[in-house]
Structure 1
Amino acid sequence: MWSDIIQEFADSPSQSRVVRFLLENGFGVTEDGRISCNGIEMPATAVAKAIRSDRRVVDSTARRILERPMLRDIFLNMRATPDLSKVAESLGFAVITVLPKNANERGIVGAAVRVLSNYNLSIRQIFVTDPEFSEEPKLVIIVEDPLPHGVIEEIRALSQVKQVII
């Protein structure tokens, strides 16, 4: 589905950058064509500055999104979720980042979660960067700290795992 959204803007590299930025950050579009994050409107100039573009490109991309029913529904309902990985230590959590050998392979998340559940660890947050949006896709798992001895070694030993970062 993500590739369909990106393909919709294949004729305009500048609008494609806007759409990719919106998707990567969980930003939506309001009924009147303004960029928003969880219902809070953001100036097109701020988005344009972040992607080194022009606010007119951001505005025209938002209008184009609203003209297409499938895109309209997605972007009117897009929500952002907080990423706790930067504050995990302050909250008493550990962050496990898993870099897969092949991000398109199925079962990476399930295998890592099985290892953590075998150690009775409570998962506080888990997210995956989509291989269509990220040059280095990863699985990020935030769990209670301290980590039991052996858990990282078991995750590292999974066949799908290239590297584990703590």
Structure 2
Amino acid sequence: MWSEIVDKFKGMPSQEKVIRLLLERGFQVNSEGHVVSGKVEIPHTQIAKDAGVDRRVVDATTEMILKDDTLRRVFQNIRSIASLKDVAPLLGLGVIIIRVDNAQNVGIINAVTNVVARYNLSIRQAVTDDPFFSDDPAMTIITGDPIPGEMVSDLKKLKGIRSVTIQ
């Protein structure tokens, strides 16, 4: 689906940058053509600066989104999420970051969560990067308690796991 969305902007590299930024951040485009996160409006100048384009490119991109039924439905319903990754250690929570050989392989999340469950840790949050947007996607698991060192060894033994980092 993501490639279909980006394909609508082929031949328009500046607008493609904007569309990728909106998708990566989970930003919406409301019915007035404003970029928002929930009800908070994000100025087009800020989006343009982050995407490395002119503000008018953002305007043109949001206009195109509103004119296309599929794009409008996607961008009026996408949502961003709050990641606990950077604050988890401050809250006494555990953080595991897992990188795999191939993010398209089936069963990776299941295998990882089974190991976490064997250590009787609750999972507070699990977030995976979409391989479409990331060259090196990671799975981040936030646990209710710090991660025991021996669990890292067990995770590294799983098929397809390239690296395991704890914070």
What TM-score, normalized by structure 1, do the two folds share? 0.96
Matched, 1:51 2:51: yes
Distance 1:107 1:38 in 2: 32
Moved more, 6-15 or 17-26: 6-15
Equivalent residue for 1:76?
76
- Aligned residue for 2:81, secondary structure, equals coil
- Matched ranges for 1:3-152 at <5 A: 3-152=3-152
Equivalent residue for 1:160?
160
- Render the CA deviation track for 1:94-138: whole Å, top value 9, x for unaligned: 110000011111111111111111222110111110111001111
Q: Which runs of 5+ in 2 are unaligned?
A: none
Q: Which runs of 5+ in 1 are unaligned?
A: none
- Matched residue count: 166
State whether residues 96 and 147 of structure 2, in contact with CA within 8 Å, keep that contact through their aligned partners in structure 1: no
Distance 1:100 1:89 in 2: 23
Pairwise CA distance, 1:78: 1.5
Pairwise CA distance, 1:149: 4.6
Distance 2:146 2:136 in 1: 27
Moved more, 140-149 or 35-44: 140-149
How many percent of aligned residue pairs carry the same amino acid? 42
Over 3 Å off, 4+ runs: none
The amino acid across from 2:20 in the alignment is R
**What value does the CA root-mean-square deviation take over the aligned residues?**
1.0
What TM-score, normalized by structure 2, do the two folds share? 0.96
- Aligned residue for 1:120, secondary structure, equals coil
State whether residues 38 and 78 of structure 1, in contact with CA within 8 Å, keep that contact through their aligned partners in structure 2: no
Pairwise CA distance, 1:91: 1.0
Distance 2:136 2:32 in 1: 35
Distance 2:49 2:149 in 1: 45
- Render the CA deviation track for 1:52-83: whole Å, top value 9, x for unaligned: 11110011101101111111011011211101
The amino acid across from 1:128 in the alignment is T
- Aligned residue for 1:116, secondary structure, equals helix
Distance 1:112 1:92 in 2: 21
- Aligned residue for 2:85, secondary structure, equals helix
- Aligned residue for 1:84, secondary structure, equals coil
Distance 1:146 1:46 in 2: 37
